Structure 1
Amino acid sequence: MTRCRLCGSAALTSVVDLGATPPCESFLAADELDRPEPAYPLHLRVCTDCWLAQLPPLITPEETFQEYAYFSSYSTSWVEHARAFVAGAVERLALGGEAFVVEVASNDGYLLKHVVDRGIRCLGIEPSVNVGAAARDAGVPTVTEFLSPETGAAVRAEHGPADLVVANNVYAHIPDVVGFTRGLRALVADDGWVSVEVQHLLTLIEENQYDTIYHEHFQYYTVASAARALASGGLTLVDVELLPTHGGSVRLWARPAEVAGEPTERVAEVLDREKAAGLQDLSGYAEFSDRVAKVRRDLLRFLIEAAERGETVVGYGAPGKGNTLLNHCGIRPDLLAYTVDRNPYKHGRFTPGTRVPILPPERIAADRPDYVLVLPWNLRAELVEQLSFVGDWGGRLVFPIPELSIVEVPAKEVTA
């Protein structure tokens, strides 16, 4: 990668180099274990002209999303987050029965089903054939497309302009950020709203969340760089909310530039925080690579010492971020016997690169391991509750990010 994909500058500086890994959602079937497995460099750089952090576009969205292993509805907290967003957006924007809502990268309909339930007309635009089919089966109108200016214009011509366009957890997933943003502008009404949720680079850096760096994420946004990206397609940032999702995200509210008006004070407050953290100069990135290396050393030391004591460690979850962590640390079944996942699509498959078996969640209670390494650490509160049964045999939970944390789970009291 020689040029910034947002501003075209050649002023790209290394932030952290995680080596080479397979694409994080390329789970392996049993009959694929003896085949070659491609790996691609995972090297995050930042543009010192526009401050967009980015990976080189070594794989295409088409390779990743034609058939996708991630179904949003399997996360209870994520479905609740979507319900609360819809309720808040309906109130904020006074969306009534005549409104039209479009979600880009709508996955299995986990968010739009709440729009359907309110009797509001909606449409999902989802590139993955399998999860889009699941959305339609759930009663959510969905078209199978990647968003581009042409797609946006075609949807608008057929269905009308959208009062609200939602783009949650997709703005990092597209290499053509300018074209995608122009697609958002094509969809939204001239007096409408666009809501974008994306992980916040500020918390990624501050909380050592390096495992959220993977090939599906082509860029990593501050509010400052996100505002520049939105402007590239004719949208103006008018408000921002800081969210706890994915370890720390931002919700960006934007409008067509012609009607946007002045941004709220919250935008200025977050921009000031980012500047104070050194994210608009190189000072904020300087020590990140060293802190990433410490996460790796601490986790490997724990796993090796547990193995030498004869203790069993298994995983919980098989998220994309987990595969960055497993590959960067070189963790294979000798240190992590298996991991489990609620998504049946992944059962019987193996993690890319490290070939850790993925089993149904029931195996944890059956095997009673000494430790459970929680890979989707961003769902900590939800999973500490879900995995409370591990305390029944004295098992403990392990969280690797932002630093190694071993959690004692109290055994449940037995009442007469």
Structure 2
Amino acid sequence: MTRCRLCGSTALESVVDLGATPPCESFLAAERLDAPEPTYPLHLRVCTDCWLAQIPPLITPEETFSEYAYFSSYSSSWVEHARVFVEDAAARVGLGEDSFVVEVASNDGYLLRHVVDRDVRCLGVEPSVNVGAAAREAGVPTLTAFLSPETGAAVRAEHGPADLVVANNVYAHIPDVIGFTKGLRALVADDGWVSVEVQHLLTLIEENQYDTIYHEHFQYYTVASAIRALASGGLTLVDVELLPTHGGSLRLWARPEEAAGEPGRRVADVLAREKAAGLQELSGYTEFSARVAKVRRDLLRFLVDAAEEGRTVVGYGAPGKGNTLLNHCGIRPDLLPYTVDRNPYKHGRYTPGTRIPVLPPERIAADRPDYVLVLPWNLRAELVEQLAYVHEWGGRLVFPIPELSIVEVER
């Protein structure tokens, strides 16, 4: 990487180098286990001119998202998060029977189903053929396409301008951040609203959440860098909410610049927090790599000690973040014989790079392991409740992030 993808600067400084890994959602079918597997460098850098943290665009969105292994509806808490968002957004924007809502990267319709339930006209724009088909089967109108300025203009011409455009957990996934933002502007009405949810770089660094760095996340935002990114497409940030999702996320509320007005107080408050954390100077980034290395050492030490003591450890979940962690730590089936996942699409497949089998969740109760390593740590509250049954045989849960913790669960 030689230039910042947002401002074009060459002033890029290393934050953390995680080596080379396969794309995190490229789960392997059994017949592919003896085939070569491509890997790509995973090196996070920050631009010291606009402070956008980013990795090189070594794989294309088309390679990752044309068929996708992640279905949002398999997380109960995430579906509930979407329901509450739609309820709150309807009040903020004033959604009614004449309104139109577009969600970009709408996945399997987990969010727009709540818009459909309100009898509000909507459309999902989803590039993955398989999850878009699932959305249509659930009654959510969905266009299979990547967002670009041209796509946004075509949707607007056919359906009219959107009163609300939702872009949750996608703003990090596109290498052409300027073109994508122009696409958002093309979709939204001149007096409409755009809502963007994206992981907050502040909590990523403060909480050691390095496993959320992977190839389909091309950039990592602060409010300061998000303001500049939104402005590149003619949008102005007017409000921000701090969310607990994904370990700490931003909900950015933006409007076309001609309708925006002055930003609310919360924008200034979060900007001040970021500045106090040193994220507008290199000092805020220099210790991160050392803390990442400690997470790796602690997890490996636990797994090796458990193996030496004859204790069994299996995984729960097969999220993209888990594959960054497994590959960076060099964890193989000798230390983690399998993981389980609620998504049947992944059953019978193997994690990229580390070749760990993915099995149905029922396998845990059948095998009664001593420890369950929870890979989607961001769903901690939900999964502590779901996995309470491991208490029946004295099993315990292990969370690797932000630091290794072993949890006794009770029914």
Partner of 2:335: 335
Partner of 1:275: 275
Partner of 2:82: 82
SS at the partner of 1:124?
Answer: strand
Measure the CA separation in 2 of the matches of 1:155 and 1:108: 19
Query: Residues 255-296 of structure 1: CA distance to partner in whole angstroms, max 9, x if unpaired?
Result: 000010000000000000000000000011010000000000
Q: How does 1:237-276 map to 2 (within 5 A)?
A: 237-276=237-276
Equivalent AA in structure 2 for residue 206 of structure 1: E
* 1:236 corresponds to 2:242: no
Equivalent AA in structure 2 for residue 24 of structure 1: C
Partner of 1:163: 163
* 1:370 corresponds to 2:370: yes
Equivalent AA in structure 1 for residue 202 of structure 2: L
Shift of 1:92: 1.0
Measure the CA separation in 2 of the matches of 1:167 and 1:255: 13
In the TM superposition, structure 1's runs of 4+ consecutive aligned residues that sit over 6 Å from their partners are none
* 1:318 corresponds to 2:314: no
Partner of 1:385: 385
Equivalent AA in structure 2 for residue 404 of structure 1: L
Partner of 2:200: 200
Q: How does 1:58-97 map to 2 (within 5 A)?
A: 58-97=58-97
Q: How does 1:6-405 map to 2 (within 5 A)?
A: 6-405=6-405
Measure the CA separation in 2 of the matches of 1:241 and 1:70: 25
Shift of 1:210: 0.1
Equivalent AA in structure 1 for residue 266 of structure 2: R
Shift of 1:393: 0.1
Query: Residues 223-264 of structure 1: CA distance to partner in whole angstroms, max 9, x if unpaired?
Result: 000010000000000000000000000000000000100000
SS at the partner of 1:258?
Answer: helix
Shift of 1:94: 1.1
Measure the CA separation in 1 of the matches of 2:280 and 2:225: 9
Measure the CA separation in 1 of the matches of 2:274 and 2:409: 36
Measure the CA separation in 1 of the matches of 2:311 and 2:225: 46
Equivalent AA in structure 2 for residue 327 of structure 1: N
Measure the CA separation in 1 of the matches of 2:158 and 2:138: 22
Shift of 1:376: 0.1
Measure the CA separation in 2 of the matches of 1:144 and 1:253: 25
Equivalent AA in structure 2 for residue 31 of structure 1: E
SS at the partner of 1:255?
Answer: strand
Shift of 1:93: 1.1
Gaps of 5+ in 1: none
Equivalent AA in structure 2 for residue 143 of structure 1: L
Measure the CA separation in 2 of the matches of 1:93 and 1:237: 15
Q: What is the Cα-based RMSD across aligned positions, in Å?
A: 0.3
Query: Residues 118-173 of structure 1: CA distance to partner in whole angstroms, max 9, x if unpaired?
Result: 00000000000000000000000000000000000000000000000000000000
Equivalent AA in structure 2 for residue 343 of structure 1: N
Equivalent AA in structure 1 for residue 262 of structure 2: E
Measure the CA separation in 1 of the matches of 2:173 and 2:95: 28
Measure the CA separation in 2 of the matches of 1:288 and 1:89: 35
Shift of 1:337: 1.0
Measure the CA separation in 1 of the matches of 2:90 and 2:57: 36
Q: TM-score, normalised by structure 1?
A: 0.99
Measure the CA separation in 2 of the matches of 1:263 and 1:84: 24
Measure the CA separation in 1 of the matches of 2:237 and 2:96: 24
Equivalent AA in structure 1 for residue 166 of structure 2: V
